[in-house]
A and B are shown apart, each in its own frame.
Chain A
Amino acid sequence: MAMRPIKLMGHERSLTQVKYNREGDLLFSVAKDNAASIWFSSNGERLGTLEGHQGVIWSIDVDPETNLCATGGGDLAIKLWKVETGQCVFTWESPSPVRRVAFSSDGKRLLAIADQVMGHIGTISVYDLKTNESDFNNQDIKPSLIIETDQNNSKSNVANFTQDGKFIISGLDNGYVNKYDSNTGELIQSIQAHGIHTEEKNISITDIQFAPEDKSYFITSSKDKTATLIDVESFEILKVYKADAPMNTAAITPVKDFVILGGGQEARNVTTTAESQGKFEARFYHKIFEEEIGRVKGHFGPLNTVAVHPNGAGYASGGEDGFIRVHEFEKSYFDFLFDAERSEKAAASGNI
């Protein structure tokens, strides 16, 4: 099948994160330039830009109602924006560059990871939000909780709330995934998810994304060239997806049992190799059978971030090349079945 992606060229530098809102009609993107962009995902029209950061923006997230969106950047700022108008309604100061921001599922709390640099011990800060429109710019300056993630001198790279908001899942630089109580900050469970499947030295976790249906499990991607599927409750590794290049991002698709991995050769090595050898493709794996079933080309730099449309109709990828590519799946994507799946289906229909 052939897809005709929409190419979004609103950023001047490499992408750091792309994210759909709950309905999937808007696509939020941040890059290493200082403005976030919001796009209509159906036609690639840009709703606007969020201006105010002084430098690289590492992360963006949007609340479930698409009222507020949050960004965190290298300028030690966490900013809260009104999506409708693009106005910055509040700014928190962070002790160190902000690597990741994420809303809780109810949109009432916001977490922000402060990087472990500049003498700061890596932390996850949780802010309680005032979600009434009149109080947007009247937020508490102090976080309600600070979790120090300095476990064995390793910092937290990525984090997100679980569905019920009770826990915070965080991926660390040393390949471990931690589960914290989101109210007390207590470390509940910890598992080494990366660095055990391959011989790679860099085992840093680069992305965590939850299953779209119920967030009962999540996928982690790592520089160790693998991605793992981990159950929230049991905190066990369910599946491992092996790739041939460091992975920067991973996402789970709704509707079909696939996962999408993105990555490629390290950005600093890109200029020394040909595009075809850089492995700059989005890789599709079967979620259950762990087999790679397809690739999508297009970027000419590593993929830094991938997001799947909430209704499973497409996905967006942001690359080191500074472009966002918005893909819409065609019918053959939805028709695809493994032989095992097909025979199972046939058997099921035969029995009825």
Chain B
Amino acid sequence: MSTAIGSWADAGDEFSAPPEIIVNPDGTKTVITFRTNQDGKKVKITQKIREIKVEEKVHPLVALRKNWKKYGKEKNSPPGPDTSTTQLGEKVELKLGLSWKQVEKKEEEEKAQERASKIAVQTIKCRTCGGDHYTAKCPFKDTLGVSTETNQTTPEPSSTQDSSSSQPGRYVPRHLRPDAQGNVQSKEARDDSSTLRISQLNSFVDEDMIRNELLARFGPLQRVTVVRNKESGESRGFAYVTFATEEIAQKALDLLNGKGYHSLILHLEWSKKKKT
């Protein structure tokens, strides 16, 4: 029956030339055919075939019944199975064993997971980077997160309840307003893990001196702020410096703490107490 049903699979191929058949001395046959493949290229196919005759013994009654004429609805049907009533089904599994339940359960769970992940891919889209995870779990949250989020939310304030800064008609304090790059300077948002507080600075030391002199070899520095008197603008003798990484900050702290700089002995410490 497989030939009757499977024959259509070969029917689509167009043979340009009759196959060349070579009979090998060991009883096998080599069949060489040329056909055009999907890309329109001519392909040479060499098949080595060994013919095996399988003799099957059947009950004489069975052999007799094989030759019975068809009747009823099949009266005028040609020999061989009719594809309208007889088809090969999908493969089905029969795993014998006492653990079949666990095996099946596991498979079903895997399928369910796969399905769930597919749904997740379709529905979850990170607002920060566009990846298939929740925005809160975005690995680029610290670098991209805040800016894109606020950029997106500012033009359509109606949809943002999470950011109080963009609600219309409400006063937003200066330090909570986004800066030119759209960064909201909030205490919570700022990452101070790589920030050092440098005190005992001489009053004439400014940001440029810290950047280019004192901490030149630990650069580039993310942020340098010298704290000044609001009225006179005079330095109060300490500054906050954010390093690129925590390791560099640690290095700077180890090297410079207790060293002299412009007549004064520097004191460096973490700007925030580290969580231990």
Contact = CB atoms under 8 A, between A and B. Distances in A.
B6 to A, nearest CB: 12
A35 B72 contact: yes
Interface string A25-65: 11000000001000110011111111100000000000001
B73 A45 contact: no
9 contacts: A5-B88, A25-B58, A40-B66, A44-B85, A45-B80, A293-B96, A295-B94, A296-B92, A333-B96
B74 A48 contact: yes
Given A66-B65, A294-B94, A49 B100 contact: no
B81 A43 contact: yes
B142 interface: no
Contacts of A296: 92-94
A327 B61 contact: no
B257 interface: no
A142 B104 CA distance: 54
Interface string A245-256: 000000000000
A332 interface: yes
Contacts of B72: 35, 48-51, 86
A284 interface: yes
Contacts, number: 132
Interface in B212-247: none
B94 A6 contact: no
Interface string B49-80: 00000000011011001101111111101011
B247 to A, nearest CB: 54
B164 to A, nearest CB: 47
Interface stretch (A7-15, A91-99, A185-193, A263-271): A7-15
A7 B96 contact: no
Nearest to A39: B86
Query: How extensive is the interface on chain A, given as a class?
Result: 35 or more
A86 B68 CA distance: 10
Contacts of A10: 73, 85-86
A270 B97 CA distance: 29
Nearest to B100: A294
Contact of B86 (A8, A51, A85, A333): A8
Given A43-B1, A293-B97, A327-B92, A49 B86 contact: no
B89 interface: yes
Nearest to A298: B92
A48 B70 contact: yes
A284 B98 CA distance: 11
Contacts of B95: 1, 294
A257 to B, nearest CB: 12
A325 B89 CA distance: 8
Contact of B100 (A1, A48, A295): A295
Contacts of A294: 94-97, 100
A150 interface: no
A327 B91 CA distance: 10
Nearest to B2: A43
Contacts of B104: 295
A318 to B, nearest CB: 14
B59 A23 contact: yes
Nearest to B63: A25
B94 A46 contact: no
Given A43-B81, A45-B80, A66-B65, A297 B73 contact: no
B152 interface: no
A325 B90 CA distance: 11
A342 interface: no
A45 B94 contact: no
A237 to B, nearest CB: 23
Contacts of A352: none
Contacts of B92: 2-5, 296-298, 327
A344 interface: no
B96 A332 contact: yes
B87 interface: yes
Nearest to B59: A23
B82 interface: yes
Given A291-B98, A293-B97, A7 B71 contact: no
A6 B90 CA distance: 9
A44 B65 contact: no
Contacts of A336: 96-97
B7 interface: no
Contacts of B81: 43-46
A9 B82 CA distance: 10
A35 to B, nearest CB: 7
Contacts of B89: 4-7, 298, 325
